[in-house]
Amino acid sequence: MAGPQVRIRRVYEDPEPDDGARVLVDRVWPRGLAKARAAIDEWCKDVAPSTELRKWYGHDPGRFQEFARRYRIELEDRQRAQAFEHLRGLAEHRQLTVLTATRELAISHAAVLEELIRA
């Protein structure tokens, strides 16, 4: 395997055979989703952005670059850094599918995580 194997998907989508490790990276459990249907291997809450940052961002596309910058700084916090390194480790050994409830994957914290894991 050449480098980390990671992709992002919505947690509401049906699992696929090649998902590998399915890890939810949201702080709050997705609305209306039964835990059994989610088919997740782990719920890694500690890697999620702070509530304050998430609320400030509000998924406003015009704020994404600043959100990503602030989120990268938050990921330097010890607890978040450990959670991130855990994700990176999973991606080194098998396919990692990072799951989020967010509708706009390209401007989500999951997209920031995917980029950092690949780096």
What are the tens digits of pLDDT across the range 55-84? 999 999 999 999 999 999 999 999 999 999
Give the pLDDT of residue 1.
Answer: 46
| SS3 state at 99 | strand
Give the pLDDT of residue 4.
Answer: 82
For the chain, residues with pLDDT lower than 50 are 1
Q: 90 near 16, Cβ under 8 Å?
A: no
Length of the chain, please? 119
In one-letter notation, the amino acid at residue 81 is A
Give the pLDDT of residue 45.
Answer: 96
CB atoms under 10 Å from CB of 102, counted, come to 19
DSSP H helical ranges for 14-96 = 35-38, 51-57, 64-74, 78-93
pTM of the entire predicted model: 0.93
Q: 3 near 96, Cβ under 8 Å?
A: no
Give the pLDDT of residue 36.
Answer: 84
Q: 94 near 21, Cβ under 8 Å?
A: yes
Task: Calculate Rg over the CA atoms of the chain.
Answer: 13
Give the pLDDT of residue 2.
Answer: 63
